[in-house]
Amino acid sequence: MKRTSPAQALIAMLVLAAALLAPRRADAQTGAVPGPSYYLAVESIYEGDYQDAARDLLREQRGSIKTVTSRWVDSICFYAMRGEALYQMGLNQQALLEFNRACELFLANHNWMLRVRFTQDPRPDPNGRRLAPWGRPTRNVTYGRLPDTMLFAFGNLNNNAAASQGGLVQMPQFWKIDVAEVMRTAALAIRRRNTLLGPLGPHDALSRDLADTLSRGNLAPPNHWSSSWADLVTGLALMGVYKPLEAGPCLVRAELLGGRYDHELTGAALLAQAMLTLGTEEDKQVPRLTSEAILAAFAYEDWDTVADALGLQHVHRQSLAAEGVEPTLPDIANWAQRERFNHIAAQARLILAEQHAAARHTDEAAALVASALPRRSDVANGRLGAYADYVAAMAALQAGKQKAGQQSLEKSLQRYSELSLSNFQLALANERFDAGELSPRVAVDVYKQMLTDPAPLHWAYDTMDAMCLLRTNHEPAFDRWITASLARRETLPALYAADLAKRRRFLSHQPLGGRLLTLRTLLEAPDAELDKAQRLERQVFSARSPGYRPVSEQAAAARSELADAKTLFSDDARRDQRLFTQLSKATALQEAMLTELALHRLPTELSFPPRRSAEDIRKRMQPGDALLVFHQMGDTLHGFVLVSGGEHYWRLPDAGVVRGKIAELLNAIGNYSNNKGITDEDLQDDAWRQLATALGDALLQESRLDLSQTKRLIIVPDGPLWHLPFEALIIGEPSKRQLIADVVMPRYAPTMGLALAKQDPPRLVQHTAIVTPHASGDDETREMQQMTWDGLSGVLAGPTKLPTPSPVPSATLISAFESAVVMTDSVLAEQPPYDWSPLPIDRTTGGTLADWERLPYEGPERVVLAGLRTAAENGLKSAGGRRSRRGKVAALPLGQEVFHAACGLMASGAQTVLMSRWQTGGAVHRQLVQEFVTDWTRTPATDAWRRSVTLARTALLDPYQEPRLKLRDLGAEPPSADHPFFWSGYLLIDAGYEPPPEELQEAGPGDAENPPAAPAAA
C-alpha cells in the first residue's frame, strides 16, 4: 500500500474539517430552503391557528441550516414568523425575543445577498391572479416575475491557497434559497421591533446597529435590481431610530425592482411609506399608500402586509371622522373567508363593524361583530379577540344595552392592558433603566415621551391602548423619570415629572383613564371655557352622536328652571321633585351616550387636572408667593420649593420616619382616638410644641423657605404629609421660631397644576345646600343642632336644608347649588377612594364621589365638609376601611385617600374645599365654619380662613358646648381655643382665585352681589 505523504494528510484533514464546518440541515441536504413545511406553518398564522404555527415554526428552527458557529440566514424566516405568531397572540415579550434573534442573525449576515447567484433578471408577469377581486391599483403597475429560489454560493472553488498556507478550506456548495422570503421576513422582524420598542428604538443597541450597518450599503451587488430589497430593510431600520428624512428615499427606491417592476416586497415598501407619512404634512397620502399596499401585497401573497395596511387605512380613516364605510371591506372579508384566512377575514369584518358603529348603523355593526371570530381558531384569544370586545362594547352601548356593553368594555380593557404596547414599552424602559442601559440623560427624554398624555395620533391609532396607558399605575416609571432628572440636577423637570405622576395617579382611578371626564367638559362646558381646539373637538364629537344634544338640552332646561327658583324644597316641593327626576334621567342617558362616544377613535386633550410646567407656574406667581411641593417615591420623600425668583430641591427623611413623627405630633395634639377627651393637662402640656419644632426642622430646615418673605404659602402634600397640619409646625432659626399659622395661613392643592388654576370668577351664589345632623337625642343636642342651622342660614345665600333621605341621587341634587356646607359626620376611608359619599343622605346609591364627577356638569364651587374624619383623628391608625361593592378592600398608601378626595371634589367643579381631618364637634368648630363662609364669597378663601382661625384662637372654650373638652373645674376661668386641637384639624384646598380689588369691599351676608334669600328647610 502506498503511504500518504504529510502534505496529503494535511489536505485531507482540512477537507474533512471544511465538511464539518459547512452549513447543514438537520433533516436533509437536498431541496430548497425554507421548505414546504415552513410555508404551511406561515399559512397557519393567517388561518388563525397561532399556537400551531408557533409550535411548527419552532420545529423548523430546530431543523434549520447550521454551521459550527451559528445558524444560517434561513433561520431569519423561522424566527421572524414565530415572532409574528406570538405577536398576534398578544405575547409581546416572547415575540420581541424572536424578532431580536431574526434581526441579530440578519445583522451578522447583512451582506449575504452578495453571494447569491442572480442568474435571471425580473420579467413582466401577465398572470391575472395577481389582481385583487376588489379593486385595481391606481399606479401604472408592471408586475415582475422572478424564480422562486436562487442559488447561494457557500465555500470557495479554489482552496489551494488555504491548504498550502494553513487557512480554512471551504468546499464549494450551492443552496437553493427563497431570497425574497428571507428579505420579507427580515423586513417584518424590523418593522415589528419598531412597533414593540416605540420610543425606545433610537436608544436600543440592536436598532442602532441595524440602522448604522444597513445604511452603509454593500448589502446587494452594485447597481443591481436586488438593491430594492436592501433599501426596504434599510429604510425600516432607519425608521426604528427615528430618522424619517433618511428613511424616506430608501422606501421610495424599494417600491420597484430596477425602477420598473412590482415585486414581493412592494406592498411592504408602500406600507412603510404610509407609516412614515402618518401625522405629517404628507398625511393625506396615507389612504392612497395603504390602498396600494394592500393590492401590491395581495399580488404576491404578503398577508401580514395586507393585514397591517388594512388596519392603518382604517384608523387613519376614523381619525378623520370620515362618513360611511370603506366600500372594499365586504369584498376583502368575503375573499379572505373563501380562502380560509380567518385572521384577515376577522380583521376585515371587525373593521367594517367599527365603521358601521361610527356611522350609527348599529344593527349592522352588531351582526358583523357577532360573526367575525371563527370558533375553531386562536383568533378570539389574541389581539383580534380584544379588538372584538371593543367593537362589541361600542355596538351594545349604542343599542342601549348598557349591561352587555359595560361587560364587553371591561373585558376588552382587561385584555388590552395585558397586550398594550405602551404598557409593555414602559415596563421595558424600567428594566433597561435599572440595568444601566438607559443613562439618566436618555431616560429623561424617553420617559417624558412615554409618560406624557396620549397624543392625538395615539388616540386615533389605538384608542384602547391610550386608555389602558392612563388606567395603569405607572408610578414606578414616574419614579425613575424623577430619579433621572434629579441625577442630572434638573430641578424644574423633576418637579414637572412629580406633578404629572400625581396627575396620572388621579387619572388611573378614573373610568377609561379620565376620557369620560374630558368628554363631559368638552360637551357640557360653556363655550367661553373652551379654547379653539376644544370647540373644534366638540363639533366632531357632537357630529358622531347627534342624539346627544337634545338630551343635553333637556337636562339644561331642568337645571335652568331649578336655578331660577328662589328657594328649593320649600315653596313648590312637587315642582322640585319633578325637575330633579327629569334631570336625573336625562343625565343618566347622557352618561351612557358619553361612554359609547369615548370609544371612538377621536382625539381629546385631557383637561383635568390641568397640566402645567413648573416654568409656567412660576410665571403666574407674584413676589411673596411660595409653592411647597412634596412627592413620595416608595419610602423616600422629596421636597421642592418654587418662588417667583427661583427653585430648590431637598431630600426629606424617609416616609416611614415622617409618618411616625406625624403620628407623635397628632397624638400630642390630642388625636389618639375619635372619642378621647381633651383635659386641662392636655391643654397646658407643651409637648406638641417640641414635636412640632422637631418635625418642622426635619421637613423644612433644608427647604430655604423664608417665612418673613412669604405672603402666600401653597402646599402640595403627598403620602402621610396629607395628614400633617402644617399650620401647627414651628420653624425658623432657634432664636426666631415661629408658628406657621402666626405668619401665613397655607392653603393646599392636590397637584401643582391645581395650585394656581382658577382664573375666572366663580358663579354667583343663589342656593347653598346645608346638611346638618338629624335632629335627635336629648334637648341639649337638638338645641346645638338648631344653633348650627341658625348660624349658617343667617350668613349663607339661599340656604336650603337638604331632605334626608334624598328623594333623588344626591349627586344630582347637589348640582342645583353653587355652594354646600356639610356638618354631618362621615369617614374618609382608605379604599376605595371614590366610593365615599360627600353628602351622606342617600337612601341607596347615587351619592358617591364618583357620582359627583358624573353629569350634571359642575357641582357646587364652594364646599365645606366639616364632619369628615380621617386617619389623623386616630393618630394615623386606620380611619376605618370600608368594603367595596364587590367585597374587596385594597389599601391605598396612607394619604392618597385625601388626595383622591381633593381631586374628585375639584373634578366635580369645586374651587374651594374646606374639609376636616378630625372632629371637635363643638362651638369653636361651628364658629370656624360660620366665620369662614361669611366671607368666602367676597375675599380670597385663604384670607377668609385666616380671619376665621384668628378669631377662633382668641375665643374662650365653653365646656358645655365642647363635647370633647373634659375640664376638672367647670367653674374656673375657661381656657382659650389657642390649642391646635381646636383649629388646626382642617384642610383648605383652593384653586387660587382672588377677586379684583374693586370686588374686595364690604357687603352683606352671602354673595357680594346676591344677598341670601330666606332660609328654606325640608
* Residue 614 counted as domain residue: no
Question: Comparing C-alpha atoms, which of 188, 29, 1 is closest to residue 106?
Answer: 188
At residue 770, the 3 state secondary structure works out as strand
pLDDT (mean) for 373-377:
87
| β-sheet bridge partners, residue 713 | 626
Q: Which of 404-413, 754-763, 837-846 has the highest mean pLDDT?
A: 404-413
Q: What distance, in Å, lies between the first and last C-alpha atoms of the chain? A: 125
Domain count, the chain: 1
Of 545-554, 675-684, 773-782, give the range with the top mean pLDDT.
545-554
Mean pLDDT of all residues in the chain? Answer: 89
Q: Which letter, b or e, does each residue of 520-537 get, where b requires 16 or more Cβ atoms within 10 Å of its Cβ?
A: bbbbbeeeeebeeebeeb
Residue 1005 has pLDDT above 80, yes or no: no
Q: Is the dihedral of CA 909, 912, 917, 918 positive or negative?
A: negative
Altogether, the residues listed in the chain come to a count of 1018
Has residue 26 got a pLDDT over 60?
no
- Residue 911 resides in a domain: yes
Q: Confirm whether 340 is domain-assigned.
A: no
SS3 track for 403-437 = HHHHHHHHHHHHHHHHHCHHHHHHHHHHHHHHCCC
Q: What is the pLDDT of residues 675-710, one digit of tens each?
A: 888 888 888 888 999 999 999 999 999 999 999 899
Q: Is residue 866 part of a domain?
A: yes
Averaged pLDDT for residues 831-856: 89
pLDDT band at 163 (very low <50, low <70, confident <90, very high): low
SS3 898: helix
What pLDDT, on the 0 to 100 scale, is given for residue 902?
A: 97
Within 8 A by CB and 6+ apart from 731, the residues are: 693, 696, 697, 700, 701, 705, 707, 737, 738, 740
Q: Span 463-482, mean pLDDT?
A: 96
> What does the buried/exposed string (b/e) look like for 112-125 if buried means 16 or more CB atoms within 10 Å of the residue's CB?
bbeebebeeebeeb
808 near 584, Cβ under 8 Å? yes
Q: What is the pLDDT of residue 734?
A: 85
Yes or no: say if 507 and 555 are a contact pair by the CB < 8 Å rule: no
| Stretch 358-377: mean pLDDT | 93
Q: How far apart, in whole angstroms, are the C-alpha atoms of residue 987 and residue 640?
A: 20
Calpha distance 563→586 (Å, rounded): 17
Mean pLDDT along residues 110-130: 89
Q: For residue 832, what pLDDT is reported?
A: 84
- Checking if the pLDDT of 28 tops 50, the result is no
Contact 911, 989 (CB under 8 A): no
Distance CA 706, CA 714 (A): 13
What percent of the chain shows pLDDT beyond 90? 70
Can you tell me the mean pLDDT for 581-602? 94
> Does residue 820 sit within a domain?
yes
Question: Cα(438)–Cα(430) distance, rounded to whole angstroms?
Answer: 9
What integer pLDDT is reported at residue 165 of this predicted model? 62
The answer to whether residues 189 and 84 touch, using CB atoms and an 8 Å cutoff, is no
- What DSSP string runs through 167-236? ------EEEEE-HHHHHHHHHHHHHHHHHHHGGGGGG-HHHHHHHHHHHT--SS-TT-TTHHHHHHHHHH
DSSP assignment letter at 76: H
- Where is pLDDT greater, at 12 or 115? 115
Look at residue 90 and tell me whether its pLDDT is greater than 90.
yes
DSSP tag of 301 = T
Does any domain span residue 730?
A: no
pLDDT tens digits, one per residue of 239-287: 999 999 999 999 999 999 999 999 999 999 999 999 999 988 999 999 9
Give the pLDDT confidence score for residue 501 in this predicted structure.
97
Q: Scanning the structure block, which residue is given the C-alpha cell 414602559?
A: 426
Residue 422 falls inside a structural domain: no
Q: What is the pLDDT of residue 567?
A: 81
Question: What is the rounded CA–CA span in Å between residue 828 and residue 495?
Answer: 28
CA–CA separation, 765 and 800 (whole Å): 12
Please write the tens of the pLDDT for every residue from 665-674.
Answer: 999 999 988 7
Single out the residue of 664, 647, 652 nearest to residue 728, CA to CA: 664
Q: Looking at mean pLDDT, say which of 163-167, 366-370, 673-677, 828-832 comes out highest.
A: 366-370
pLDDT at 392 over 90: yes
Position 167 scores a pLDDT of: 54
Higher pLDDT, 993 or 950: 950
Mean pLDDT over residues 221-237, rounded? 96
With both helix axes pointing from N to C terminus, report the angle between 362-372 and 342-358 in degrees, rounded to the nearest 10.
160
Assess whether pLDDT exceeds 80 at residue 63: yes
Is the predicted pLDDT of residue 1015 greater than 50, yes or no?
no
Could you tell me the residue range of the domain that residue 992 belongs to? 768-878+892-996
DSSP letter string, 518-554: HHHHHHHS-GGGS-HHHHHHHHHHHHH-TTHHHHHHH
**What one-character-per-residue DSSP string does 705-734 give?**
--GGG-SEEEEE--GGGGG--GGG-EES-G
CA distances from residue 431 to 196, 435, 437 in whole angstroms, order as listed: 15, 6, 9
- Cis peptide, bond prior to residue 1012, ω within 30 of zero: no
pLDDT at 758: 65
Is residue 571 pLDDT above 90, yes or no? no
Map residue 322 onto helix, strand or coil: coil
> What stretches of 101-167 adopt beta strand conformation (E)?
116-117, 123-124, 144-145, 150-154
**Residue 557 pLDDT class (50, 70, 90 cuts):** very high
pLDDT value of residue 168 = 54
Give this prediction's pTM. Answer: 0.90
Rounded-to-integer distance, Cα 894 and Cα 378, Å: 44
Choice between 100 and 61, residue whose per-residue pLDDT is larger = 100
The region of weakest confidence among 5-9, 203-207, 321-325, 772-776 is 5-9
Longest dimension (CA), the chain: 134
The model's pLDDT over 926-949, given as tens digits with 9 standing for 90+, comes to 999 999 999 888 899 999 999 999
Round to whole Å and give the CA distance between 860 and 936.
13
Spatial distance between the Cα atoms of 361 and 353, rounded to a whole number of angstroms: 9
Residue 902 resides in a domain: yes
pLDDT for 153: 79
Between 644 and 236, where is the model more confident? 236
CA 613 to chain centre: 18
